[in-house]
Amino acid sequence: MNSNHINLKGLDRIELESYVQSWGEPKYRAKQLMSWIYQKGISDFESMTNLPKSFRHTLSSQATISRTEIVTSSVSTDDKSIKYLFRLSDGKQVESVLMFDQQRITACLSSQFGCAMGCQFCATGKMGFFKNLTTAEILDQFMGIEQELGREKSITNVVFMGMGEPFANYKPTIKAIRLLCNPETIGMAERRITVSTVGLAPQIRRFANEGLKCKLALSLNATTNADRSQLMPINFQFPIDEILSATKHWAKTTGELATLEYVLIRGINDRTKDAERLCQLMANLPCKLNIIPFNEIEDSNFQRPDANAIENFQKIITQNHYVAPIRFSKGNDITAACGQLRTIYHQAGKTMTGMI
């Protein structure tokens, strides 16, 4: 991709109209471009047949439309998840995951290459932070997976739970969401998009005022500041009371239930007193809870609790009248489960390769 050319992918309608007019064309050309880029998935300007030849020549000399390369993809042995390794235009690589659950097809997208949050139970956090993804690079993951799926299937849901902390890359992530939901582009329903955060309190409050109907998932994972700070260093900056206050503000502003994510780790946060404290923390928060048994990662001594401990933890929560499903992550055999993304590609089950 020519670095001097303007990447049209990732631009919103107003930005596209500005460029189109600067090239001496009427504003409605922007809508035509959006249709070609997002609805038809075309990146070759010469193929945009409803645009004047002179304008296509201008676009070829001034602009580009980014595309990612799928380096390889691996299918889990149960056929319920696929992990994709994407190569970005600068050569860096990120992972995304596609999950199948009956009629639901969910794309788990990355917002960063690596992560600076340093969560001890997460492989991405252990690899460190390298760069924020652009809006185009986020959208390229979605569009690349869509093209791999073909016409018979389509992504129904999106979760920003891949590599990186979405709210640490706030503007590009929100812009990607708005473009995903724009009826002139992809037209996904806002309610089918979930953003997961480790608890950046100011951004949670900001997200509440975006006017979006997306869902919010807070990665809590402990019930005391001492335990949470051990697992998640961000807790030193934004302790439990502060992030729950921000999440409560989001829930009241949007009228939506927040989701608390709780990664259950043996001997760390799976005790009876942890479950009891968790109920107390949820008492005044409009929320539901996902219990996620820990998925093992390299360079970690953490372990998943045994089945009885997981069930007992859930029992305490449900006895206090909270919804608390146990979420066993898909794709463990291909290191595609929650917390396992690390751009060290492990082949397991079946493998596929493809270019887009």
Say what the pLDDT of residue 352 is.
36
Structure tokens, 18? 């500005």
Which residues are tagged catalytic? 95, 338
Rounded to whole angstroms, the Cα distance separating 348 from 74 reads 7
> Residue 290 in contact with residue 261, Cβ under 8 Å?
yes
Strands 287-293 and 193-197: unpaired
Structure tokens, 182? 């724009």
Cβ neighbours of 90 (radius 10 Å): 10
Say what the pLDDT of residue 337 is.
43
Rounded to whole angstroms, the Cα distance separating 223 from 273 reads 9
Say what the pLDDT of residue 79 is.
77
Rounded to whole angstroms, the Cα distance separating 270 from 280 reads 15
Say what the pLDDT of residue 152 is.
78
Q: Which domains does the chain have, with CATH numbers?
A: 6-64 (1.10.150.530), 69-352 (3.20.20.70)
- CA-CA distances (angstroms) from residue 354 to 84, 232, 343? 10, 36, 17
Which residue intervals of 188-290 are DSSP H helices?
Answer: 201-208, 225-231, 240-254, 272-282
Rounded to whole angstroms, the Cα distance separating 166 from 155 reads 20
Share of the chain above pLDDT 70, in %: 91
Say what the pLDDT of residue 351 is.
37
Rounded to whole angstroms, the Cα distance separating 56 from 41 reads 16
For residue 59, give every residue at least 6 positions away whose Cβ sits within 8 Å of its Cβ, in sequence order, or none: 8, 23, 45, 48, 51
Q: What are phi and psi of 82, to 5 degrees?
A: -130, 130
C-alpha angle 335-325-120 in degrees, rounded to nearest 5: 40
| Residues in the chain, pLDDT under 50 | 330-331, 333-337, 339-341, 344-356
Strands 129-132 and 104-108: unpaired
Rounded to whole angstroms, the Cα distance separating 234 from 120 reads 11
Structure tokens, 188? 């996904």
- Number of helices and strands (H, E) in the chain? 11, 14
Residue in 247, 109, 112 with CA at minimum distance from that of residue 169? 112
Structure tokens, 176? 């990607």
Rounded to whole angstroms, the Cα distance separating 141 from 73 reads 13
Rounded to whole angstroms, the Cα distance separating 127 from 115 reads 7
Strands 63-64 and 6-7: parallel
Strand partners, 97: 83, 108
Q: Which residue carries 């959208």 as its tokens?
A: 139
Rounded to whole angstroms, the Cα distance separating 314 from 340 reads 23
